[in-house]
Chains A and B, each alone.
Chain A
Amino acid sequence: DAKTTQPPSMDCAEGRAANLPCNHSTISGNEYVYWYRQIHSQGPQYIIHGLKNNETNEMASLIITEDRKSSTLILPHATLRDTAVYYCIVRFNAGNNRKLIWGLGTSLAVNP
C-alpha cells in the first residue's frame, strides 16, 4: 500500500470548514483513499473513503484530485469535538491490513 504525506498539525476556528490535505503520489489505480480520526484516549474511527469520485457522508466530504495524487478531507462546520488526529491511508479494498502504513497523521485543533 502506498505511503501518504500529511501536515503534522493544523488549526481551525469553530464553525469554519477544516480542510485537511493528503499527498499520495504513488497511489496505484486500484487503491482507495481512506480517512480515519483518533480522538484523544479513543481508538481510530473510520470517516470516509473514495477511489476517484468525490464523496460525502454525514461526517465529511472527500475531494480527490483528477490525477489521484492528493486528496482533501473537508469538515464543513468544525466543532470542538472534531479536535483529533486525522489519518489518511491508501489501500486496496481487498488488501491485507498487514501492509497498511499508519503515519503520524494531522493533529487538528478546533479553537473556540
Chain B
Amino acid sequence: SAVISQKPSRDICQRGTSLTIQCQVDSQVTMMFWYRQQPGQSLTLIATANQGSEATYESGFVIDKFPISRPNLTFSTLTVSNMSPEDSSIYLCSVSVVGGSSSGANVLTFGAGSRLTVL
C-alpha cells in the first residue's frame, strides 16, 4: 500500500493567516483526497484533488477558503486561508487505489494528519 508523508504534523497559527499542508505519496496514485476532522468528530471530505485540473469540492467547502494544488500524481497541497478558531482541526490527506491490494479492495490510505490550532 502507499505510504503518505504529511507536513506539518501540527501547527499553531494566528487568526487571519493562512497555512499550506503538504502531502507526498511514495507512488503514483490516481485519487487523492483531503479530509477534515474537527475535535471529537468524524471525518468530513473537503475535496478530491485532481491532477491537472481544479479540485472537486464537497458541499460547504469552497476553493477560496481551501485552495488545493495537485501538480503531479504523487503530491498535493491544501491551504487553509484566512484562518479562524473554527478551522482548528486535524486535516488528513488520503489516497485510494481501486484493486490496489491483492484482495482487490478499495482501500483508503491516510497520512498521519496535520493538527492545526488557530488562536
Hey, which bits of chain A sit against chain B, CB under 8 A? 32, 34, 36, 41-46, 49, 87, 91, 93-95, 97-98, 100, 102-105
Asked whether, in the complex, the Cβ of B111 is within 8 Å of the Cβ of A43, the reply is yes
- Check B48 for interface membership: any CB of A closer than 8 A: yes
**What chain B residues lie within 8 Å of A87 (beta carbons)?**
42
Q: What CA separation (Å) do A5 and B48 show in the bound complex? A: 26
Asked whether, in the complex, the Cβ of A94 is within 8 Å of the Cβ of B106, the reply is yes
**What chain B residues lie within 8 Å of A46 (beta carbons)?**
1, 105, 107-109
Supposing A97-B33, A105-B42 touch, asked if A49 and B98 sit within 8 A by C-beta, the answer is no
Asked whether, in the complex, the Cβ of B58 is within 8 Å of the Cβ of A93, the reply is no
| Bitwise interface map of B from 80 to 119 toward A, beta carbon under 8 Å scored 1, else 0 | 0000000000001010101100011111111111010000
**What chain B residues lie within 8 Å of A98 (beta carbons)?**
45, 48, 56, 58
B interface: dominant SS: strand
Asked whether, in the complex, the Cβ of B111 is within 8 Å of the Cβ of A97, the reply is no
**What chain B residues lie within 8 Å of A93 (beta carbons)?**
98-99, 104-106
Chain B interfacial residues counted at CB < 8 A: 30
A interface: dominant SS: loop
* Cβ-defined partner of A49 (8 Å) among B48, B58, B105: B105
Asked whether, in the complex, the Cβ of B112 is within 8 Å of the Cβ of A102, the reply is no
Q: What CA separation (Å) do A98 and B111 show in the bound complex? A: 18
Q: What CA separation (Å) do A11 and B42 show in the bound complex? A: 20
**Across the two chains, which residue of chain B brings its CB closest to A57?**
B103
Which of chain B's residues 46-102 have a Cβ closer than 8 Å to chain A? 48, 56, 58, 92, 94, 96, 98-99
Name the residue among B42, B45, B115 with the largest chain A CB count within 10 angstroms: B42
